[in-house]
A and B are shown apart, each in its own frame.
Chain A
């Protein structure tokens, strides 16, 4: 008899999702699916709006990484204006993205994921959250919260709002950083760096005890995609697309976002609203690739800043070259925070950062534009077609979580196979399946469930469609 286990909703990720696990006659896990059951239709309701509004509209797709959409929209807008933005504007946009990476990764690491490994997989779910963490390790929790606040403040200093700052605009940005802002950032940098160092030490110490997780949480070969700069430098804003494999071979390099349709296919499955992008030359689903911190760290040759490069060496030693376990996403996030902080330090010393020449003005000079940027969770593409007056005719967004869709499904299946036997559904097992998903820090919509545990509903289905077992977690 075939059975199906449903986990709905998945907790401590951004948004709502549901997991179905299919058992075969022998009660072993056959397959698993990660469904995204929410449909938000952003692409549709952008139609007919002036393209200048896209930054503001798409930034509202998510309250966790609005900056990413803002930047991708602004870069797409630059293409429609057909302008090269002032150098100061590019530096300022970069600064904001680095603040974003810092705050988003800090949220994922400290608030959402660390309770699992610091408090224990099988610990009381009511306390397995950031509040439990505050009780157990107040110093770490506080440092994590302050690190996130640092990143958010960088965004706020630039955009005047922590979230949804429509500050990056087609042609550049609205305003530079104030000298007061520079001083604030400089002042808080040492503490932020100390926090990442502490987190890195902690994580590395824990790794010995996490060998099972490293083995089971989405450990499989796949391609990795992301932006890299000159000579393979770690990138988060500009550069060009690179694909490399689990052996570290570069499959494609120097790809332009303009040609994304040549190398990215998008498959649709009727059980999920999330599209399934794949690397076209390898077909679907063999063209599975991962994006985000793990991918960026794997594909780049170096960070270009001293501390982060030192850590990168150690990372590669520990991973044995290319890191193929999705559990390493957490580790990669810490490396990226460190790199972001080092780059922020360089940027605030640049006189351009307070320059007033930050916005290029132009009319509609191209009817189509494709922009790309690295969101904390991975590469983000915006593609607009506009009419002669700049009204949106068509929008396509390729978001990071979508690109990790195939990998997330594979991860869930792998974890389920390891931890589920028979029809017994334990809390710790459910949590591990969720944690596998959380490694990707998927951002499924705009709500945050960082505080506490959400109810969980598990169903066990027989082949005849009857429910054999049902578990509720409140």
Chain B
């Protein structure tokens, strides 16, 4: 396998061909903020938090889905990127209905973490206050679309790891939502094995265990990666 060499924030890195900038950055010890990226499943570039600047390329590129090339010169933390990242997080907050104070994920939410990471203290965009609903028809879990950021992690874990493919994106644009089955109540989707992987995958309080009250959602953030490693690399410990 051939190797590519590049620099990230002036740090030289060598990594195998086909790797993403995000993987190369990890190798170089550079942290890039992410939200829709989840170890163990494929990447889709949905959240735009991982945007980076590459010299001689006139647009910002999402690190999680951009492959490295030879002699690439990458910058991950320029003032321009900081501004765009902050804007991306602000837009996510303005898009849904996030009332952290009463949310199950309060204090254990990757969107909150992202807001802190990018230094967002308020959003400069008007809130949309969309009319979204809560589906608690499943016997164990619930989904509150108000808190969904459409990262599609639930879709990917359910499809790629559990193999049940309960979730899909329905509609488009501002009407997008995560649909279970054929846009049925979750409790009626026979394909669901009630494995709970989507609960662990969901970065926010959108998917939760029923009965959990505010700030009570517990997530095992590393569990999915462990499951994948166990299956693919036969690593049974962590």
Contacts and interface: CB of A to CB of B under 8 A. Distances in A.
A417 interface: no
A56 B101 contact: yes
B134 A166 contact: no
A99 interface: no
Contact of B212 (A52, A57, A363, A391): A52
B213 A53 contact: yes
B213 A169 contact: yes
A55 B215 CA distance: 12
B29 interface: no
B134 A391 contact: yes
A101 to B, nearest CB: 23
7 contacts: A53-B213, A53-B214, A57-B102, A60-B102, A166-B214, A170-B211, A391-B136
B137 A48 contact: no
Interface in B186-238: 187, 210-216
> Could you tell me the dominant secondary structure of chain B's interface residues?
loop
Contacts of A166: 102, 213-216
List of 7 A-B pairs having minimum Cβ-Cβ separation, nearest first: A56-B214, A56-B102, A166-B214, A389-B136, A169-B213, A166-B213, A52-B213
Given A56-B214, A390-B136, A50 B142 contact: yes
B133 interface: yes
Interface of A: 48-50, 52-53, 55-57, 60, 164, 166, 169-170, 174, 361, 363, 389-391
A55 B137 CA distance: 21
A75 to B, nearest CB: 14
B71 to A, nearest CB: 53
A164 to B, nearest CB: 7
Nearest to A60: B101
B136 A53 contact: no
Contacts of A49: 134
Contacts of B137: 389
B151 to A, nearest CB: 22
Nearest to A52: B213
A363 B142 CA distance: 13
Given A50-B142, A60-B101, A164-B101, A55 B213 contact: yes
A361 B142 CA distance: 16
Interface string B126-155: 000000011011010010100000000000
Nearest to B132: A48
A315 B122 CA distance: 53
Given A53-B102, A56-B101, A60-B102, A48 B212 contact: no
